Structure 1
């Protein structure tokens, strides 16, 4: 039985606890969180510091479900202690913080929807793609933006926290450097520092393009999808509430627990060569973060006061 340390027992940590409870060969040996909010398994040791927990438990797998910034420090400390590490997105908001360090090869960023049906083959053998469209349409009310999510410095915006699953998948499939960006970021409801909508059109080298349409004030059914137009004229659609249907049927989509268990298995087997194609190494996170920064930097800002002034 392999010992797992969970760093961070809030909203995301609770989802990992649910998935870990049914994972074969894994046991939650402890939780590192000074103030856990998730319901913990009976008799689970709780540590205020991840460093203390690492020394006491010597876990084989560390799952980091802490806010950005904290997550990266915890992940690297765990890797330095010899553990294999799975860290929830986006780990950090600063691409420069991902300059390679010793031990980073043991850290993987967790994008559980990338383990959806068919995506392993798609990532292992990417087709020639001319255009990718990332669509996010969800409803987030003011109560969602509390604690660490209230400030851009600690949480990032819609692209970091909401649309990053689809963005990173699209960018892994779509090669080339960003040449031009036309984007608009709308702050209409006054939800702390976060925005309501981000739309962007990106041109990459070779004439490839990407369109982003991310709404968190959407009144209809939630969806997060990546639509691909291939060079041979075909179209592929990665569908679901959060990509979880992959290339398969929406009605047959795996649960988030099942996707996370697939991810745990892949991370624990990461020492094998080649690594699972759906794994996202820490170093590969830098490119999507740089693209997100470019979108926010070049975007036109629209606020509710602009409409009033007009």
Structure 2
């Protein structure tokens, strides 16, 4: 059995515990969190710090589900200790912090929806995409924005926390540089520092375009999808609540626990063979964060009164 250390046992950590509970060949050897809120497996050792947990357990896999900032330091500490690492997005809000360091090749970002049906072939071939659209429509109530999510400095905005799975997938397929950005960020409900909606139109080198429409105040069934318009005329739809259907039938979509288990296996295998095409290296996260930063920097700000702040 491979020993797994979970760093951070809050809302996201609980989702990893659910996935790990059914993962063949993996056992949760310990949890690093001074105040765990998730229900832990019986007799699971709990450590106040990831430093102490790494020293005591020598895990083969470390899953980091801590807030941005803490997450990056913990992931790099685990990699330096010899573990393979999955770190939850966005890991950091500072693109410069992702300048390569020794050990970063052992760290992969937790984009489990990128393991959805059909995306392995798509990411292995990297077809020419002329235009992409990222659509997010979910309902997040004020209670969601608590603790570390309340402040932009510790949580980031909707693009960092909500739409990053689809945005990053689109940017993996649109590799050219961003030339222009036309964006609007709307703050309508006063949810701490977070916005309710982001719309953006990006023009990339070569005439390629990316449209983003992300809303967290939308009633109805949640959706997070990516539409790809290829140079050969095909249109591909990556569908689901959070892309989990991939290119397949939404009725046959795998669960998020299944997608996470595929990701854990791929990360462990990357210790001795070329990485699976769906894995997302830590080093590759810098570009999406730079694009997100530019969208927020250049966006018009709309407040509840209807006034626009540049």
Instruction: Please indicate, yes or no, whether the TM-score normalized by the shorter chain is above 0.5.
Output: yes
| Residues 301 and 308 in structure 2, CA contact (< 8 A), matched pair in contact too | no
The farther-off stretch of 37-46 and 263-272 is 263-272
Write the distance in 1 (CA, Å) between the matches of 2:308 and 2:271.
57
Q: Which residue of 2 aligns with 1:150?
A: 150
2:31 and 2:44 in contact (8 A); partners too: yes
- Structure 1 position 281 matched with structure 2 position 284: no
Q: CA deviation at 1:219?
A: 1.2
Equivalent residues in 2 for 1:119-134, closer than 5 Å: 119-134=119-134
CA distance in 2, matches of 1:233, 1:3: 47
State the match for 2:25 in structure 1: 25
Task: Note the 1:71-220 alignment, pairs <5 A.
Answer: 71-220=71-220
- The aligned residue for residue 296 of structure 1 is 296
Could you say which residue in structure 2 is the equivalent of 1:234?
Answer: 234
Per-residue Cα deviation, 1:96-150 (whole angstroms, up to 9, x for no partner)? 0000111111111110100000000000001111000000000000000000000
Is residue 35 of structure 2 the alignment partner of residue 35 of structure 1? Answer: yes
- What are structure 2's unaligned runs of at least 5 residues? none
- Inter-CA distance 117–308: structure 2 relative to 1 (3 Å threshold): closer
Alpha-carbon separation, structure 2, partners of 1:80 and 1:272:
17
In the aligned structure 2, how far is the partner of 1:92 from the partner of 1:214?
Answer: 20
| Inter-partner Cα distance in structure 1 for 2:140 and 2:56 | 39
- For residue 223 of structure 2, what is the aligned residue in structure 1? 223
Q: 1:181 to 1:308 in 2, by over 3 A?
A: closer
Counterpart residue number, 1:258: 258
1:199-240 deviation line (CA, Å, top 9, x unaligned): 000000000000000000011211000000111111000000
SS of residue in 2 equivalent to 1:76: helix
Deviation at 1:274, TM superposition (A): 2.4
* Helix, strand or coil at the partner of 1:31: strand
Displacement of 1:271 in angstroms is 2.4
- Ranges in structure 1 where 5+ consecutive residues have no aligned partner: none
Who is 1:10 aligned against? 10
How many residues align? The count is 309
Partner SS for 1:305: coil
Equivalent residue, structure 2, for 1:248: 248
Correspondence for 2:64: 64
TM-score w.r.t. length of structure 2: 0.98
Alignment RMSD (CA, Å): 1.1
Tell me the alpha carbon deviations over residues 246-298 of structure 1, each in whole angstroms, 9 at most, x when there is no partner.
Answer: 00000000001000000000000012432100000000000000000000000
- Cα distance per residue 1:61-108 (max 9 Å; x no partner): 000000000000000011111111110111001000000111111111
Per-residue CA deviation, residues 129-187 of structure 1 (Å, 9 max, x unaligned), is: 10000000000000000000000000000000000000000000112000000000000
Distance in 1 between the 2:4 and 2:275 partners?
Answer: 21
CA contact (8 A) 2:150 2:192 kept: yes
SS of the residue corresponding to residue 86 of structure 2 reads strand
TM-superposed CA distance for 1:307, in Å, is: 5.0
